[in-house]
């Protein structure tokens, strides 16, 4: 795992940075292996230090051994300690140190700036560690595959439980329980369950609403396995045959997803992949009802860059994992979304999600 630190130092050299401060939990885990809730990485060209508190010293020492980090306990004044670490690494003159401007709290930035004035320049950066995290290794892909498998199996167990009279909260709780029972460390994010007219809410939180026969029900959830996440959405009709309108709209969303899955390949941009699905929905007259991007990358976090969206010009590369999740949402009527997780390969994609796509379960 020390190769991650070596690759990150190559990025520092390319950005003309003497060192870097990592505060993001996901980036901290990626570079150091440390899974605790408190800690900061101070990385220079020669040294790598994890500062954490007394609670995590033994855990941190064990977890970071393979990553090349030295573990130090910090006193209550964490950010003053970070500044002292940096001062000890500034070899004359004013060096440039980067920090995660999209994660560092302004209060902590002010502390560092005051302490380091005259020692170094603090340089804001965004997405530097994510350049490494974007392409998944075989070990990372194995963890994502396992998370996806757990979610697929939990969905299969949940289907017989989708009955009129159940509440959205009950369905969400069952799904999360099944994932845990099947080996998940936790949920990738709070499970979304929205039924009937509420299924028009793309991120509808589960409520006490009782599901009625003939309702559309959308469930969006995922599992965590070895730190890595799955993401999954299916829409079904509960306790009745689908209506003609429900079936037609479902077939449209499925057609849009299939178009994206069939055409997606390395060398395309996220914008171009998004268009594969969006054009199908727009041609049917529902373009204004597909208001979010087609997908996003995922891994240690549920939403990572790059994205499949109208604004994303990032070129797809093998080893990058994406969700593909078109949807159509009609206020007052309901909505339909179908989501799979795929990994880009040399010749196209591999779909990791195995759950059937049927409106009637």
The answer to whether residue 357 sits within a structural domain is: no
Same structural domain for residues 150 and 121? no
Please tell me the predicted confidence (pLDDT) of residue 1: 80
Same structural domain for residues 179 and 262? yes
Same structural domain for residues 27 and 155? no
Same structural domain for residues 241 and 169? yes
Q: Taking the chain, what is the end-to-end CA distance rounded to the nearest angstrom?
A: 44
Tell me the average pLDDT across 22-33: 97
* % of the chain exceeding 90 in pLDDT: 94
Q: How many domains does the chain have?
A: 2
Domain end: 115, 133, 151, which one?
133
Cα-based angle 226, 65, 31 (whole degrees, multiple of 5): 60
The CATH number linked to 53 is 3.40.350.10
Same structural domain for residues 115 and 194? no
**What digits encode the pLDDT tens for the residues 167-222?**
999 999 999 999 999 999 999 999 999 999 999 999 999 999 999 999 999 999 99
Domain end: 84, 113, 133, which one?
133
Domain end: 76, 107, 133, which one?
133
Same structural domain for residues 172 and 277? yes
Burial class (CB in 10 A: 0-12, 13-18, 19+), 248: exposed
Assign 361 a pLDDT band (cuts: 50, 70, 90).
confident
Higher per-residue confidence, 94 vs 40 = 40
Is 255's pLDDT higher than 80?
yes
Assign 92 a pLDDT band (cuts: 50, 70, 90).
low
* % of the chain exceeding 70 in pLDDT: 99
Please tell me the predicted confidence (pLDDT) of residue 93: 64
Assign 95 a pLDDT band (cuts: 50, 70, 90).
confident
SS3 per-residue string spanning the chain:
CHHHHHHHHHHHHHCCCCEEEECCHHHHHHHHCCCCCCCEEEEECCCEEEEECHHHHHHHHHHHHHHCCEEEECCCCHHHHHHHHHHCCCCCCCEEEEEECCCCCHHHHHHHHHHHCCCEEEEEECCCCHHHHCCCCHHHHHHHHHHHHHHHHHHHHHHHHCCCCCEHHHHHHHHHHHHHHCCCCEECCCCEEEEHHHHHCCCCCCCCCECCCCCEEEEEECEEECCEECCEEEEEECCCCCCHHHHHHHHHHHHHHHHHHHHCCCCCEHHHHHHHHHHHHHHCCCHHHCCCCCEEECCCCCCEEEEECCCCCCECCCCCEEEECCEEEECCCEEEECEEEEEECCCCEEECCCCCCCCCC
**What digits encode the pLDDT tens for the residues 55-64?**
999 999 999 9
Same structural domain for residues 51 and 13? yes
The answer to whether residue 227 sits within a structural domain is: yes
**What digits encode the pLDDT tens for the residues 117-174?**
888 899 999 999 999 999 999 999 999 999 999 999 999 999 999 999 999 999 999 9
Assign 277 a pLDDT band (cuts: 50, 70, 90).
very high
Containing domain of residue 179, as a range? 138-351
Assign 292 a pLDDT band (cuts: 50, 70, 90).
very high
The answer to whether residue 356 sits within a structural domain is: no
The answer to whether residue 168 sits within a structural domain is: yes
Please tell me the predicted confidence (pLDDT) of residue 88: 82
**What digits encode the pLDDT tens for the residues 66-90?**
999 999 999 889 999 999 999 888 7
The answer to whether residue 151 sits within a structural domain is: yes
Residues 314, 292: Cα–Cα separation, whole Å: 17
Please tell me the predicted confidence (pLDDT) of residue 86: 93
The answer to whether residue 121 sits within a structural domain is: yes
Please give the model's pTM, rounded to 2 decimal places: 0.95
Same structural domain for residues 219 and 278? yes
Same structural domain for residues 174 and 44? no
Please tell me the predicted confidence (pLDDT) of residue 40: 97
The answer to whether residue 337 sits within a structural domain is: yes
Please tell me the predicted confidence (pLDDT) of residue 94: 76
Same structural domain for residues 10 and 100? yes
Same structural domain for residues 208 and 87? no
Same structural domain for residues 129 and 144? no
Residues 333, 133: Cα–Cα separation, whole Å: 40
Please tell me the predicted confidence (pLDDT) of residue 53: 94
Assign 5 a pLDDT band (cuts: 50, 70, 90).
very high
The whole-chain average pLDDT of the chain stands at 96
- List strands edge to edge, sheet with 232-237: 192-195, 216-221, 232-237
The CATH number linked to 312 is 3.90.230.10
Please tell me the predicted confidence (pLDDT) of residue 159: 98
**What digits encode the pLDDT tens for the residues 303-332?**
999 999 999 999 999 999 999 999 999 999
């Amino acid at each position: 795992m020390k190769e991650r630190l070596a690759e990150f130092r190559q990025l520092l050299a390319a950005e003309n940075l003497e060192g870097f401060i990592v505060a993001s939990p996901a980036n901290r885990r990626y570079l150091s292996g440390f899974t605790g809730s408190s800690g900061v990485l101070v990385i220079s060209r020669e040294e790598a230090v994890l500062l954490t508190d007394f609670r995590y010293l033994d855990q941190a020492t064990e977890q970071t051994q393979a990553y090349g980090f030295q573990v130090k306990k910090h006193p209550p004044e964490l950010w003053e300690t970070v500044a002292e670490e940096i001062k000890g690494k500034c070899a004359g003159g004013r060096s440039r140190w980067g920090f995660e401007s999209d994660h560092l709290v302004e209060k902590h930035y002010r502390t560092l700036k005051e302490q380091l004035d005259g020692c170094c320049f603090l340089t804001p950066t965004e997405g530097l560690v994510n350049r490494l995290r974007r392409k998944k290794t075989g070990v990372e892909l194995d963890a994502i595959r396992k998370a996806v498998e757990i979610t697929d199996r939990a969905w299969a167990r949940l289907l017989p439980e989708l009955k009129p009279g159940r509440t959205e909260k009950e369905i969400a709780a069952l799904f999360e329980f099944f994932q845990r029972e099947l080996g998940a460390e936790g949920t990738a994010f709070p499970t979304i369950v929205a039924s009937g007219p509420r299924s028009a809410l793309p991120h509808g939180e589960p409520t006490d609403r009782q599901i009625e026969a003939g309702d559309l029900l959308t469930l969006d959830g995922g599992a965590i396995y070895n730190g890595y996440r799955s993401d999954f959405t299916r829409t079904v009709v509960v306790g009745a045959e689908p209506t003609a309108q429900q079936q037609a709209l479902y077939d449209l969303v499925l057609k849009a997803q299939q178009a994206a899955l069939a055409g997606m390949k390395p060398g395309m941009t996220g914008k171009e992949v998004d268009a594969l699905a969006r054009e199908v929905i727009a041609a049917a007259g529902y373009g204004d009802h597909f208001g979010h991007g087609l997908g996003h990358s995922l891994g240690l976090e549920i939403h990572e860059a790059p994205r499949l969206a109208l604004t994303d010009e990032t070129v797809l590369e093998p080893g990058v994992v994406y969700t593909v999740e078109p949807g159509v949402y009609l206020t007052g009527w309901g909505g339909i979304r179908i989501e799979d997780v795929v990994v880009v390969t040399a010749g196209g994609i591999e779909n990791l999600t195995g759950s059937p796509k049927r409106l009637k379960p």
